[in-house]
Amino acid sequence: MSIDSMVSIITPTFNSRSYIGETYLSIRGQSHQNWEWLVTDDCSTDGSAAFVAELAAKDSRVKSFRNIENSGAAITRNNSILHAAGDFIAFIDSDDYWEPEKLERQLQFMGEKIDFSFTAYAIMDERGNLTGKLVDANRSGSFGYDDMLCKAATLGCSTVMLRRSAFADLSMPLIRTGQDYALWLKLLKTGKRAHLIGEPLTRYRITPNSISRNKVKKAKRQWQIYREIEGLALPKAAYCFAFYAWRAVFRR
């Protein structure tokens, strides 16, 4: 079943015109062609929404939506998820890129038994040049809720694929940043495990204004998720944060 299944690809856009064309080309070039791409624009001012609408007019697999007001990535992704019709849900951000066999390899890996998978990824710079840095490469295994609390794996959003029927609620928690990580925790709390493919099948773009470049903001976000979203007691939150901080410094 999995090899021929439809994959619903979820992408939020906000002023992404400079990169989203490359993202589309990487999706269109997939060896697995049974997909739909659901793009919700969060009130861009650079022509992103019009560009995606043009793609949708030419490629029926592209579905274009727009928020009424700027709402953040969680609401934007959730809108696309709400309209998804596929057997699997995959995520890719509007400035990232997939290797041609990403979907096919992931579907083969998941088969009939794995419900949650993610891949290693390569880092590229703003212009799309590979930096030589790989994340979670040459590793294997699976990770549960407690593992993910301590960030035992990076689990990049653009690498994740989920079996839709395995989860009752795939909506992202309504926080402005870190909503993808909060969703992984919500799903893993059900007892599921996230299984890693140690091949860098995704390219993750680092841009000058990327939230992921600001370690202070990332640390504050991590603490907020521990205390406010997960409701961890102070001692456990501090324990998990210590592991997170150590890995943030030394894992790459």
pLDDT digits (tens, 9 = 90+) for 52-106: 999 999 999 999 999 999 999 999 999 999 999 999 999 999 999 999 999 999 9
CATH number at residue 177: 3.90.550.10
Q: Is 175 exposed, middle or buried (0-12, 13-18, 19+ CB in 10 A)?
A: middle
Q: Identify the weakest region by mean pLDDT among 157-161, 227-231, 246-250.
A: 246-250
Instruction: Compute the distance between CA of residue 7 and CA of residue 85 in angstroms, rounded to an integer.
Output: 8
For residue 213, name the pLDDT band (cuts at 50, 70, 90).
low
Helix (H) or strand (E) run with residue 221 in it: helix 215-224
User: Using an 8 Å Cβ cutoff, are 13 and 44 in contact?
Assistant: yes
CA-closest candidate to residue 73, choices 96, 37, 42: 42
- What integer is the mean pLDDT of 19-45? 97
The number of domains in the chain is 1
For the cut 80, the answer to whether the pLDDT of residue 186 exceeds it is: yes
Instruction: Compute the distance between CA of residue 125 and CA of residue 191 in angstroms, rounded to an integer.
Output: 36
For the cut 70, the answer to whether the pLDDT of residue 251 exceeds it is: no
Tell me if 233 is assigned to some domain.
no
For the cut 90, the answer to whether the pLDDT of residue 250 exceeds it is: no
Tell me if 204 is assigned to some domain.
yes
**Is residue 121 left, alpha or beta, with left meaning phi > 0 and alpha meaning psi from -120 to 50?**
beta
Tell me if 237 is assigned to some domain.
no
Model-level pTM?
0.93
Tell me if 247 is assigned to some domain.
no
pLDDT of 152:
72
Q: Is 57 exposed, middle or buried (0-12, 13-18, 19+ CB in 10 A)?
A: exposed
Tell me if 25 is assigned to some domain.
yes
pLDDT of 209:
63
Task: Give the length of the chain.
Answer: 252
Tell me if 65 is assigned to some domain.
yes
- What integer is the mean pLDDT of 119-137? 94
Helix (H) or strand (E) run with residue 133 in it: strand 130-135
Q: Identify the weakest region by mean pLDDT among 1-5, 44-48, 224-228, 240-244.
A: 1-5
User: Using an 8 Å Cβ cutoff, are 32 and 113 in contact?
Assistant: no
pLDDT of 252:
46
Pairing verdict, β 88-91 and 161-163: antiparallel
pLDDT of 219:
85
Tell me if 112 is assigned to some domain.
yes
Instruction: Compute the distance between CA of residue 184 and CA of residue 170 in angstroms, rounded to an integer.
Output: 9
pLDDT of 217:
82
Stronger pLDDT, 210 or 131, i.e. the higher one: 131
Question: Domain limits at 98?
Answer: 2-210
For residue 175, name the pLDDT band (cuts at 50, 70, 90).
confident
Share of the chain above pLDDT 70, in %: 94
- What integer is the mean pLDDT of 189-195? 96
pLDDT of 135:
92
pLDDT of 154:
81
Helix (H) or strand (E) run with residue 236 in it: helix 234-250
Angle, helices 234-250/215-224, rounded to nearest 10 degrees: 150
Tell me if 241 is assigned to some domain.
no
